[in-house]
Amino acid sequence: MTKILDGKILAQKIKLEIKQQVANLTKRKPKLAVIIIGDDLASQMYVHTKIKACQTCDIDGQVIALDKSANQTEVISHIERLNNDSTIDGILVQLPLPKHLDMLTIINTITIDKDVDGLTNINAGRLLQGDKQTMLPCTVKGILELLTYYKILIKGQNVTIINDSNIVGKPLGLLLNNMGATVSVAHKLTKDLFAYTKNADIICTATGVHNIINNKQVKPGVTIIDIAINYTGPNKKLVGDVNFMEMAKVAGAITPVPGGVGPMTIAILLTNLMTCYELNNK
């Protein structure tokens, strides 16, 4: 019987707990600041979803929308102002940024205790060091919570991650390695992907290529964590990297798309914000 790793229901549970935590606060409410630069539609949609999630939990959300021509100094000065604003608990810069901006410098300007996305170099370095203080990137922590909640064994397991981004693949690899998994990080240049997927007990995939692997290219009983958001067919149906119905015939556990990693990423943003709130109100 294939286990469905339902992220929607777990995310609901997490948000409910946060709403109760917020209701019990005696001081001011937590507040998230989101900086969005330019007019990318997908980015605007993501920001909207994040702010709406805040509202569900009675968390304040502020959007700072900058023109696509905003320069580096302008963006940095916004972040510095938010760093120094004691009513702001978390700062999130919606990615991707317009090409003329230096992403790393901008991200690394966020003060460590407000790094709600866990993307600064200090938090990334803490993760490498196995420092429990690290703030994990939302998607990475969302996957960890899913695996933990649904009791998927990590220690000693072979994990193949098909994605090597700073936000997903690299931090997820370090996290699972720290937890005792043997981790392979594959990507576009990988020459024999299926050798890695066939050997894996857990596959985490975020390629944006629907059907990147099929159920003959995995081990029976494998856990599939599908992180991708793809639109397919004339009706632009939302799908992941794998064909859910086909893969479920072979997998031991699998996340649906939608309703798997996606809602978890949003819920964990609020979890991280609550951690930032505590750090900023010590």
Q: Which residues bind a second copy (CB under 8 A)?
A: 104, 120-131, 155-156, 158, 164, 166, 170-171, 173-174, 177, 180-187, 189-192, 195-196, 199
Catalytic residue among 15, 31, 50, 114: 50
Least distance from C-beta 103 to a second copy, angstroms?
9
- Number of neighbouring beta carbons within 10 Å of residue 132: 7
Cβ proximity of 127 and 151 under 8 Å: no
| Block residue for tokens 């390629």 | 207
Catalytic residue among 89, 115, 117, 241: 117
In angstroms, rounded to a whole number, what is the distance separating the alpha carbons of residues 16 and 22?
10
Tell me whether residue 40 or residue 164 sits nearer to a second copy (CB atom): 164
Distances (CA, A) of 212 to 118, 203, 205: 28, 12, 9
Tell me whether residue 127 or residue 266 sits nearer to a second copy (CB atom): 127
Least distance from C-beta 170 to a second copy, angstroms?
5
**DSSP string across 68-98:** TT--HHHHHHHHHHHHH-TT--EEEEPSSPP
- For 204, the token pair is 């985490």
Q: What is the DSSP letter of 153?
A: -
| 40 counts as catalytic | no
Least distance from C-beta 177 to a second copy, angstroms?
6
Tell me whether residue 48 or residue 188 sits nearer to a second copy (CB atom): 188
Least distance from C-beta 220 to a second copy, angstroms?
16
| 132 counts as catalytic | no
- For 236, the token pair is 């632009």
As beta bridge partners, residue 65 has 36
Tell me whether residue 196 or residue 244 sits nearer to a second copy (CB atom): 196
- Number of neighbouring beta carbons within 10 Å of residue 61: 20
How many residues can be counted in the chain?
Answer: 282
**Burial bucket for residue 23 (CB in 10 Å: 0-12, 13-18, 19+):** exposed
Tell me whether residue 192 or residue 216 sits nearer to a second copy (CB atom): 192
Catalytic residue among 6, 94, 115, 217: 94
| 94 counts as catalytic | yes
Least distance from C-beta 121 to a second copy, angstroms?
3
The set of catalytic residues is 50, 94, 117
